[in-house]
Amino acid sequence: MSFVEIKKLVKSFGPEVAVAGIDLSVEQGEFVTLLGPSGCGKTTTLRCIAGLEHPDSGDIQIEGDYVTSVANEVFLTPEERNLGMVFQSYAVWPHMTVFDNVAYGLRIRRETRAAIKEKTTNALNLVGLGHLAERYATKLSGGQRQRVALARAIVYNPKVVLFDEPLSNLDAKLREQMRIELTRLQHDVGITSIYVTHDQTEALVMSDRVVVMDKGVIQQIGDPETIYAEPTNAFVANFIGVANLMEGKLLGHEGSATDVEIPLGDGSAPIRLKTTGAEGAPVGSKIILSIRPEDILLHLEKPADTLNLIEGEVIDTVYLGNFLDCQVQVGPYEIGVQIDHFEELDLGQKVYLSFTPDHGLCLTE
């Protein structure tokens, strides 16, 4: 059994199904991120784990103990669960010093004066605020306040720390810095962490595993590389990074290759793919071809003997520092292509796009 086990969790608000029966296991020391668009149910899932929300059905176990079991009428209060929480709003008490903010939870737990001093000092040193212990919280920057919130969440050695978009109020630069610090801290201390965000970069950079959610349902669980390179459906492909998606038809399988056809207005492009997410799909069924901008080659002349060649017209180009982002009209689709070398392109110019069979993915909806 895993450290945190969630089984068949359902939570509705009136007719709105926020969480539609999810199963999730988190190992001890793991950093798992719930990622998805606004309203997909990630916060509700986190609040159910925290004990802030009563689910309609399902079980949640932490370290083998039920903290929620609807069928067995078990529901531990948030305090009884011994979890740390860090939220978007810093919730740092302005009238207290940094030390007192962090020590508060220990005082409530009636720890000894010596234990409070030692644990608070340790937690403050871990988040790099040891030197600001006596400063009042009002005199802190946004990043420092968020560190106080973090120290407060880890000071009593909780079983799991729950994070709900903790970095979203910070500016871009500070957010990047805090991402690195949080990941380092998480690895140093080995806290089991469940993190909620709608920011895919944050999820991919920080997590051991990412749980992609949509409409209250888990779409895919995997390590960041797998989620990015092998999305299991069109939603994940599109949500994680930028993907060009084109609808087509499955023609058949030959050995490890899959052949599909993409209708493009006045013709259709035969496409051969190496990997496929549509092994079980019958011939003739609707598929979605997903191809990332950085995996497409752009040719000015029609290359000979090239697989997966499609013709298009340049409709936009933007220089983004070290690469050129080019939009190419291909039949009804605007295909994004990322070129990492300088290329002189005119609007309306005819170009040819190609990609190797191992770069395109064949997905079902």
CA pair distance 119, 158, nearest whole angstrom: 13
Inter-CA distances, 39 with 71, 197, 200, 233, 327, Å: 27, 11, 15, 19, 30
Tell me whether residue 35 or residue 116 sits nearer to ligand ATP (CB atom): 35
* Structural tokens at position 255: 């050995």
Beta carbon nearer to ligand ATP, 40 or 269: 40
Q: CB 38 → ligand ATP: shortest distance, Å? A: 3
Structure tokens at 87: 């939220």
d(CA 150, CA 124): 9
Least Cβ distance, residue 195 to ligand ATP (angstroms): 12
Give the residue at shortest CB distance from ligand ATP: 43
Work out the end-to-end distance of the chain between its first and last CA atoms, rounded to an integer number of angstroms: 32
Least distance to ligand ATP from the beta carbon of 76, Å?
A: 20
Q: From the CB of residue 223, how many other CB atoms can be counted at a distance below 10 Å?
A: 12
What is the smallest separation between the CB atom of 251 and ligand ATP, expressed in angstroms? 38
Minimum CB separation of residue 218 from ligand ATP in Å reads 12
Q: How far is the CB of 196 from ligand ATP (least distance, A)?
A: 6
Cβ-based nearer residue to ligand ATP, 18 or 271: 18
DSSP 301: S
Closer residue to ligand ATP, CB minimum distance, 38 or 77: 38
Sort 171 into a burial class: Cβ within 10 Å, 0-12 / 13-18 / 19+.
exposed
Complete edge-to-edge strand list for the sheet that includes strand 361-363? 268-273, 257-263, 244-254, 286-291, 361-363
**Looking at beta carbons only, is 87 or 99 nearer to ligand ATP?**
87
Q: Nearer Cβ to ligand ATP, position 42 or 81? A: 42
Binding positions for ligand ATP, rule: CB under 6 A: 13, 16, 18, 36, 38-44, 198
* Closer of 199 and 230 to ligand ATP (Cβ): 199
Q: Which amino acid is at 176?
A: E
Quote the CA–CA distance of 193 and 32 in Å, as a whole number: 6
* Min CB(37)–ligand ATP separation in Å: 7
* Choice between 68 and 258, CB closer to ligand ATP: 68
- Give CA separation, 52 vs 45, 68, 346, in Å: 10, 11, 57
Dihedral through CA 47, CA 53, CA 58, CA 62, nearest 10?
50
User: How far is it, in rounded angstroms, from Cα 109 to Cα 279?
Assistant: 55
Residue 40 CB, shortest distance to ligand ATP, in Å, is 4
- Taking CA atoms, 175 is separated from 147, 163, 167, 250, in Å, by 12, 14, 6, 43
How would you class 100 by CB atoms within 10 Å of its CB: exposed for 0-12, middle for 13-18, buried for 19 or more? middle
Query: In the bound complex, what is the minimum distance in angstroms from residue 215's beta carbon to ligand ATP?
Result: 9
Q: Which is nearer to ligand ATP, 13 or 319 (CB)?
A: 13
